[in-house]
Amino acid sequence: MYERSLRKCPGTRRTGATTARGPAITAGTIRPVRRAIAGIGRTLVTLGLLILLFVVYQLWGTGIFTARAQDHLKHDIHAKIQRLQDENDTVGPVPTTVPKPGSTATTRTTVGFSHRLAPLVTPAEGQGEGVISIPSVGINFYYVEGTSRDDLKKGPGHYPATPLPGTIGNAAIAGHRTTYLHPFGDLDKVKIGDDIIITTLEGTTFDYRMYKQMIVAPTEVSVVANTPDAELTLTACHPKGSAAKRIVVKAKLVAAKSAKLTKSKPRPATAGTGKGRTTAGLAEGLSGQTRSFVPTIAWGIVAALIGLAWWWTFRRWRHPATWLIGVLPFVVALFPFYVFLERALPAGY
């Protein structure tokens, strides 16, 4: 009764603990938070798509350059083989005038004559050198001289510090496993006893038989050390998509199924040969190309500006035509950005 009467009296106040209320949360305060979260989400999704597109470019886009290079090497190597075979054809006995033995008089007789040329010189780095084929795993590529980053974009590359295939010694060839048409992508599937066939610029064929596979560090140069017998060593990054290790396949020449060997001639001693060159060759390109940094940044800025303009235009005029008009210049700027970015990043695929 007393408490009820207090509630009815307008002049009375309730004493005791009360609960303090904070500022009210309204739609006006929630809206900026939602916009910020949505903006962050869209940014992350866009970055994810750009990264995914870059991975797609690395896995398949880089193959465009290698396919064009392989086509060029195909015509170049076959033309050299045909030209060399034509020039090396031995001409049969031809009549010529020579002194008769024991006499100063001359008589017409027949002397064997040959146009056969000296052994081929090693091609310049980046030039075609032959064909490598591993039928058991479907590998068939034209290979070049050299193992630099630019050389391996064309296909497998022969280590310049090692003997040439088809000569006495340990010839070594490197190749990519994931990018640039992944010529050695299935190198881990090569089994003991499988044939590895090399065709040189002379048109001669050499059959090597695989006898060992191993995983080594990138700086393990002993795998390409010279040998007294004719051997072939293939190297590639391991595992796929990483440059942490190297997979190495060793093979020995099958003399009965190969052309006649020649002795390997020692190379002139230069600053780019020897053990140091071999060590550098095994880890070639892993640090990326510093000369690609500036073009990467420049094309990145161009692509970003075009992308922002595209986004702003689409927000003002939400129409499919606006989206289609903006995507073309954005892709045109994005492609060279990916090309230079791939060159600037460490290689290892």
Distances (CA, A) of 257 to 60, 169, 207: 36, 18, 6
Question: Which two three-digit tokens encode residue 204?
Answer: 């001669």
Is 176 one of the catalytic residues?
yes
Nearest to 129 by CA among 149, 150, 153, 146: 146
Rounded to whole angstroms, the Cα distance separating 84 from 145 reads: 18
> Tokens 């307008």, residue?
10
- 158, 182, 237, 238: the catalytic one is 237
- 158, 176, 182, 238: the catalytic one is 176
Q: Which residues are catalytic?
A: 176, 237
